[in-house]
Structure 1
């Protein structure tokens, strides 16, 4: 089912859909990206780092396909009631009251089954049209990052308005006694391509997961138990499902300054992942104080994986700061700044344009549609206002 049909169904059920007029501000010629040497940025990929451990874990716990996870979805998504004031707004959802108001968990990245499989079969993966959001967890409202997870959200009128949380874990132990541990990363960006889920790991590059290898775990333990408890008992903070890491994509550079992988997004047209950095112009203590960059890395020919070694094909230095989101499609770029509450659009030929955007905005995902307008999906991380929303991209392309 198309997004538009889904939204009409939601509207009929009483979901508030709000849109207002907007004013586009054309950026000055000086406030535009400049080209950097792409050859100074590389990736090294290893998709088999945890093969033996993952085989052992699957043999003990068994795997659950995505449709089984969604058959057991146990959280209700609801309609957006905030007035977002965005041009071309077509709707979306928010999480249940517990997740919407949780000061220890924060949504960050976004991707969809349209990223994974394209427009074929209405963008369904294993029978479901899904929106996937990555989260990080802190030890209490003011604690340090302690783990990360994803939520799989049904976005199809054929199914209930439900979602399921899946914990991200790193395999540990030995093949004879396999286990897993938490992944305490920011998970600021996520991209789904084919069966592979790529999650940004700020200082390293990306961690790789396989959506065919979700594991079933035991529930009923204490909230802090993680990993192997006995030969057949595995707890995961009471999550019923975990997604184990299968490999790594490690970034390298000869530029003298390592990339900060703050957000990522899939470009299906050029078959690449694009990334950008969250940096400050000055005054930050937890983030770099310098101009941010955006870099494009291509997948291996005919594959949804990176080659063992990959060199970037495009690199930009950006004039904008506090960037939490990036997207690219068919030579066009979008950047979301949570600092300025603006969405920046840029192409080499048309230059830069600036649009009003939401507060606490995070990642962006491009949604291609064969019969309806293409969309930009994004989300807000602010406690109490965790809206996941879509706008028609035509209103944000200059």
Structure 2
């Protein structure tokens, strides 16, 4: 479940009645930019790692894919308005401790849809979190939480996509002052790719940022070790590449549950939006330690921040729009100016729904059905000319075992 790993998958049935929406004061929502952690500046820590490890960029990973996905020739599961998509290989379909959550594409990264800028690669990214207790048993099934991973999907050949997982890490120093990195044990419910930067939501704290120009190659052995080992080598839980955090935005205003994130290229300037998950329609701020000044309205919200395309960071730390929407189980969000799209889930056996509402409007209406266990969203404009879609689509990802599809539906539900 995208934004609430602490809540069981089963829940109340989605209401068939339209959700109510209202505009609220955006100024209460703010972030603080952070360039360091307790070990030092992110840039200095990463530079230190670069003296120890081979540094690569995302284009290297896209070219070094090692797993094959299955192309979907028709709509998966319960979804409608299908355009394209794929399913993970058998191992990733059935593994119970890695759970897919976020999705974004190179059509988010650059307006023409390809990566890098001026390049030709068509890429889909997905995030996964490690679940130590996938069966919701009294004790954990897996003792070691391996944190978060990111999947690079080479989509240049739509009929035969290939992919590779990398580990997301935070650069640190050891007790003896050596450069190292740690796993990031968070949820990664939503991701957004903008230029060379990847934004990842941190449920209670805000946004983590990763620079896709800076990854490190590490040995594949030692599958239960992350960072600098006693043998003097660096490992990433058996993954070939690790991607270190480069920046952060910490929530500084009214509490906000950072469940999902989406890019809006239709707004001026470009902007990002964040949505909140709630099981019952009221957001609970008592389940974790939230950054900020205190709780506001418990109605789920969509909050917008402007972006600066010159450096791909936030243009302002204060939100420019905030709307409430009485919709439970929001797992994903994307916006196009004042029009907002939501992915609403309904547990492990009932289809999800793509819903939409307009800022200042009174209701959210259904666009089309999504897969069971629908999660994050990513808007893919038909203006992304280097992809073959004749109309705008919205990408979605499913989380449940053997229902793990990554696919795009027509934005108008047709």
- TM value normalised by structure 1: 0.84
1:334 aligns with 2:341: yes
Query: Aligned partners of 1:212 and 1:200: how far apart in 2?
Result: 20
Contact 2:282 2:299 in 1 (8 A): no
Instruction: Classify the secondary structure of the residue corresponding to 2:52.
Output: helix
Distance 1:26 1:106, change over 3 A: closer
1:61 aligns with 2:49: no
Query: Aligned partners of 1:358 and 1:328: how far apart in 2?
Result: 20
Give the alignment's Cα RMSD to 1 decimal. Answer: 2.7
How many residues are paired up? 363
Query: Aligned partners of 1:278 and 1:59: how far apart in 2?
Result: 41
CA shift for structure 1 position 27: 5.8
Query: Aligned partners of 2:64 and 2:281: how far apart in 1?
Result: 47
Counterpart for residue 247 of structure 1: 247
Counterpart for residue 296 of structure 1: 304
Counterpart for residue 220 of structure 2: 219
Query: Aligned partners of 2:188 and 2:298: how far apart in 1?
Result: 22
What CA deviation, in whole Å up to 9, does each residue of 1:21-65 have, x standing for no partner? xxxx9965xx33101100000011124631111001012102112
Distance 1:300 1:133, change over 3 A: same
Which structure 2 residues correspond to residues 252-271 of structure 1 after superposition, within 5 A? 252-254=252-254, 258-270=255-267, 271=270
Query: Aligned partners of 1:326 and 1:70: how far apart in 2?
Result: 26
CA shift for structure 1 position 301: 6.5
Query: Aligned partners of 1:238 and 1:83: how far apart in 2?
Result: 31
Instruction: Classify the secondary structure of the residue corresponding to 1:394.
Output: coil
Moved more, 331-340 or 343-352: 343-352
What CA deviation, in whole Å up to 9, does each residue of 1:148-199 have, x standing for no partner? 0100001112896210101000111069620001000000000010101010
Query: Aligned partners of 2:134 and 2:323: how far apart in 1?
Result: 36
Counterpart for residue 32 of structure 2: 44
Instruction: Classify the secondary structure of the residue corresponding to 2:80.
Output: coil
Counterpart for residue 114 of structure 2: 123
CA shift for structure 1 position 140: 5.6
Which structure 2 residues correspond to residues 3-152 of structure 1 after superposition, within 5 A? 28=18, 31-47=19-35, 49-80=41-72, 83-119=76-112, 122-125=113-116, 127-139=120-132, 141-142=134-135, 143=140, 146-152=146-152
Query: Aligned partners of 1:282 and 1:115: how far apart in 2?
Result: 29
Query: Aligned partners of 1:392 and 1:385: how far apart in 2?
Result: 20
Query: Aligned partners of 1:171 and 1:60: how far apart in 2?
Result: 13
Query: Aligned partners of 2:281 and 2:322: how far apart in 1?
Result: 23
CA shift for structure 1 position 303: 3.5
1:361 aligns with 2:374: yes
Query: Aligned partners of 1:283 and 1:326: how far apart in 2?
Result: 17
Counterpart for residue 13 of structure 1: none
Instruction: Classify the secondary structure of the residue corresponding to 1:278.
Output: coil
Contact 2:282 2:298 in 1 (8 A): no
Query: Aligned partners of 2:309 and 2:78: how far apart in 1?
Result: 41
> Which structure shows the higher helix fraction?
1
Contact 1:299 1:306 in 2 (8 A): yes
Counterpart for residue 3 of structure 1: none
- Structure 2: segments with no counterpart, 5+ residues: 1-14, 289-296
CA shift for structure 1 position 232: 5.3
CA shift for structure 1 position 381: 0.2
Query: Aligned partners of 2:76 and 2:356: how far apart in 1?
Result: 23
Instruction: Classify the secondary structure of the residue corresponding to 2:308.
Output: coil
